[in-house]
Amino acid sequence: MLLAFTLSFLAMVYLTVVQIMPNWMANFMMGTATLDNGEFLLMSKPSQAIVVTSALMLSMFACLYLWLIVFMLSYNSETTVNNLARTPDPKSLSYRVMQKFLPLLKRIQAQTKRASSNTAAAVVSTPRNSSQTSSFGSRISSFGSQTSSFGSRTASRLISDFTSIEGTYHRYYDAVLDFPKLIFQTMSLSGYLSKGFPLPIIFFYVLPLGFNWLISFYRFQRNKPDPMLVVARVFYLFDLFFAVFAPIVMLLYSYYNFNMDRANFATREETLTPGSFDRIARLFADPIQVQMAKTSLANLQITGGEYILVKCFLNLLGIYKWKKVIAHLILANRSRREEKGGAKAHAHPHSRVHTIVGGIVFIFCGVGIAIYTALALSTSITNCSPYYHCPVYSYRWEWGQKSTCPCIVFIDRELAPKTYNEWINAPNVTDPLSALASNGYLQTVQIINRALPELPEALRQCKTLKDLILIYTKTRRFPEWTKELHTYSTCTSKTIFSIQVCSICRQIFSPKCTAYDSFARVGRQV
């Protein structure tokens, strides 16, 4: 646990730096600071408000993980133990919220008692003799005497039975907190699939996610005591992976799979004249590796308010649960030292109906995620395999709709034509580009030494197109509808026979952009 919290703290510090200096961090990680004037990956720049908010949020989480480390190391402190053993505050927000749900809690309690009335598990009203439950019972008793929201000690005890880790009905409380968290983790998997992450990364993510759903069901149906919270700690370690480490795994995968012949490129820079597209390192490198590195680094950035909310929810929920686990272990450790060999804990009552419903929800969701992932992977691979122009595509499966290739990156280039005729009479790529753009998912188009007289109408549907690179493509003009596209990050254009294509950048994209005869780059608007 201590190692996990330390790594989480370092990860939050790293993510904070990424928000503030994304381009510097990208160059530092990939070793590309000397390439393309430090703009090799062309990282997007969110609004200043998003950057400040996300940096402050991640800094706060870093401090909270550091606080968990200090809290965990203070298990022998008398002050810590006394604070944890203190009677709960009846005016606290958590207690007042639970009061609102008290009728529902009573209904669950009644159903559980009826289901277990004929079994030995019906021990809800049995006095607690263990060292741990006696200490907590005394706290509950004193708390009940001070608070009378519903006029009795029973209400206080019932709330504690649901919210306390050692509570009789705590598994219901766990399920309420686990389900939305698992939904958010599943949404992250959907994002990985839609962005076309490499298959090893998807498998590395989907397997723990499915296991997480199954562990949630196991915890829900389990009625045996777990005083050391072994199952809970394993489960929460998976949560740390999804909340903190999953984006960094993709970055490490990209880092170890990024290879560029820097010596060969340095020779090009020394021998070729300025203005030649062969001096652009981003075009010389493997486009798939470049796209992978850019996607992994962009995945670390917080670019929208909804992402801030998801990140905040997952981390706060994880920190809250770890705090409760550590507090329980500290009090249990003190109880074991004060009363050697206390009475053994009792099994918790359990409703068969609730177990069946929990199984339907958790198991079906876990299996459903595996089935959807398999269908999305197989469908997209089958539909995109005929198109060698599409090295990166989204993994999607839509019920009842015609399946086509959801291409994200279109690349068709020949960096070194072997003959003059091959250069002049280059193959026309209008039809394959039109076919792959019809879904509207294209984000990158890179065409070099291929004929593209005019952008196809289907490209108009690609509202998220960010990179448009056309070099020696015989493109004579851009249609008027290109003004509708506002997400461009780069526009690189050069054509043969001195056709001045680059001048259209000023008309189409932004009055702030600059254009050159051989290389035009549009100012970022992403």
Q: What is the DSSP string of 499-521?
A: ---TTHHHHHT-TT-B--SS--B
Q: Is 24 exposed, middle or buried (0-12, 13-18, 19+ CB in 10 A)?
A: middle
**Gap between the Cα atoms of 280 and 278, Å rounded:** 5
| Mean pLDDT to the nearest integer, 264-268 | 76
Instruction: List, in order, residues 6 or more apart from 355 with CB less than 8 Å away.
Output: 220, 221
**pLDDT (mean) for 403-417:** 85
pLDDT at site 103 = 60
Domain ranges of the chain: 2-78+169-340+350-376, 406-508
The answer to whether residues 350 and 223 touch, using CB atoms and an 8 Å cutoff, is yes
User: Residue 141: pLDDT band by 50, 70, 90 thresholds?
Assistant: very low
Structure token digits, residue 174 = 């766990």
Note the Cα 349 to chain centre separation in Å. 36
CA distances to 88, 137, 236, 316, 372 from 190, rounded to whole Å, are: 40, 44, 21, 22, 10
Averaged pLDDT, 186-205: 88
Q: For residue range 338-357, list pLDDT tens digits in order.
A: 665 444 555 555 566 667 77
Residues whose CB falls within 8 Å of the CB of residue 48, separated by 6 or more in sequence, listed in order: none
| pLDDT reading at 39 higher than 90 | no
Are 20 and 51 in contact, with CB atoms under 8 Å apart?
A: yes
Lowest mean pLDDT among 222-231, 317-326, 453-462: 222-231
Q: What is residue 406's predicted lDDT score, i.e. its pLDDT?
A: 92
Identify the residue with better confidence: 376 or 158.
Answer: 376
pLDDT confidence tier of residue 499, bands split at 50, 70 and 90: very low
End-to-end CA distance of the chain: 39
Bridge partner residues of 407 (DSSP): 393
What is the C-alpha radius of gyration for the chain, rounded to an integer number of angstroms? 29
pLDDT at 146: 44
Report the chain's mean pLDDT, rounded to a whole number. 73
Distance, CA of 464 to CA of 52 (rounded, Å): 25
Percent of the chain with pLDDT over 70: 65
In sequence order, what DSSP letters do the residues of 153-199 get, joined into one string? Answer: HHHHHHHHHHHSTT-TTHHHHHHHHHHHHHHHHHHHHHHHHHTT--H
| Paired strand residues for 445 | 410, 468
Residue, of 150 and 83, whose pLDDT is higher: 83
25 or 101, higher pLDDT: 25
Give residue 75's identity as a one-letter amino acid code. Answer: Y
Q: Which of 95-99, 187-191, 374-378 has the lowest mean pLDDT?
A: 95-99
Cα–Cα distance measured from residue 254 to residue 241, given in angstroms and rounded to the nearest whole number:
18
Nearest-angstrom CA–CA distance, 520 and 505: 7
How confident is the model at residue 162, as a pLDDT?
Answer: 61
Structure tokens at 145: 């005497």
Tokens 């499966």 label which residue?
Answer: 397
Confidence of residue 152 (pLDDT cuts 50, 70, 90): very low
pLDDT at residue 408, as a whole number = 92
Q: What is d(CA 33, CA 251) in angstroms, rounded to the nearest whole number?
A: 17
Q: Please name which of 160, 137, 130, 75 lies closest in space to residue 334, comparing C-alpha atoms.
A: 75
Q: Is the pLDDT of residue 71 over 60?
A: yes
Q: With 90 as the cut, is the pLDDT of residue 395 above it?
A: yes
CA–CA separation, 324 vs 286, rounded Å? 48
The pLDDT tens digits of the residues spanning 202-245 come to: 998 888 888 888 887 777 776 666 666 666 677 677 777 777 77
DSSP 8-state class, residue 90: T
In 3-state terms the chain splits into helix, strand, coil percentages (rounded to 5) of 60, 5, 35
Instruction: Give the pLDDT of residue 96.
Output: 60
Please write the tens of the pLDDT for every residue from 428-451: 888 999 999 888 899 888 888 888
Mean pLDDT across the stretch 89-118?
57
Beta bridge partners of 454: 477
Residue 505 has pLDDT above 80, yes or no: no
Cβ atoms of residues 325 and 165 within 8 Å: yes
Query: What does the pLDDT look like over 271-307, one tens digit per residue?
Result: 766 656 667 788 778 888 888 888 888 888 887 777 7
pLDDT bin (cut points 50, 70, 90) of residue 124 is very low
Q: For residue 161, is pLDDT > 70?
A: no
Neighbouring CB atoms inside 10 A of 114's CB total 13
Query: Residue 368 in contact with residue 397, Cβ under 8 Å?
Result: no
Decide: 456 and 479 in contact? Cβ < 8 Å: no
Of 220, 89, 104, 85, the C-alpha closest to 158 is 104
pLDDT of residue 468: 84
